[in-house]
Amino acid sequence: MTTQQQQVAPTIAELEDQERRLVFDRFTYEDAWELGSLLVGLAREHRAPVAIDIHRGGQQLFHAALPGSTPDNDVWIVRKRRVAERYAASSYLVGCRFRAKGTTFENSSRLDPDAYAAHGGSFPIRLEHAGVIGAVTVSGLPQVDDHRLVVAALEQFLGRPREPLAPSAD
């Protein structure tokens, strides 16, 4: 990803395309471990101070907290995951859809903002013939960067073309 691409947030159409492309044919415990480990590797490569979580069917299958992350990141993970699971869409896409309507998730969703956050970083785990069964979530970076980190890992894991992440600043 170039610096210019980093500054431009993805459009709703681009986010919806990600949702269509990043679909699993299966998702096992081993897949959760491999995807979570891939995310840890990408985060370390970019010195990202994040917490990472993968849930399926109400069960936490993977969790990691990297240096610089805080307990607050775990709270954000829960709030963002609830949005992805409830709306069957990435938490970033949900927030963008509300903003496109001239409002905010907090003002219009009628959901408790202490329990739900439509901020980037949680992406639904969608099975081809079963729908959304869980979510992979990252917290610790600006919301668009949390989203991009998850998408980059999913694209790599699923073998879909991906844009490289921007190099970390030293």
Annotated domain spans of the chain: 12-155
pTM for the model: 0.89
Residue-level pLDDT at 162: 52
What is the pLDDT tens value at each position of the chain, 170 positions in all? 333 344 588 999 999 999 999 999 999 999 999 999 999 999 999 999 999 999 999 999 999 999 999 999 999 999 999 999 999 999 999 999 999 999 999 999 999 999 999 999 999 999 999 999 999 999 999 999 999 999 999 999 999 765 544 544 43
Residue-level pLDDT at 8: 81
Residue-level pLDDT at 1: 39
Q: What per-residue string of b and e applies to 44-80 under the rule 16 or more CB within 10 Å gives b?
A: eebebebbbbbbbeeeebbebbbeebeeebbebbbbb
Residue-level pLDDT at 9: 87
Assigned architecture for domain 12-155 = 2-Layer Sandwich (3.30)
Distance (Å, whole) CA 86 – CA 118: 11
Residue-level pLDDT at 7: 56
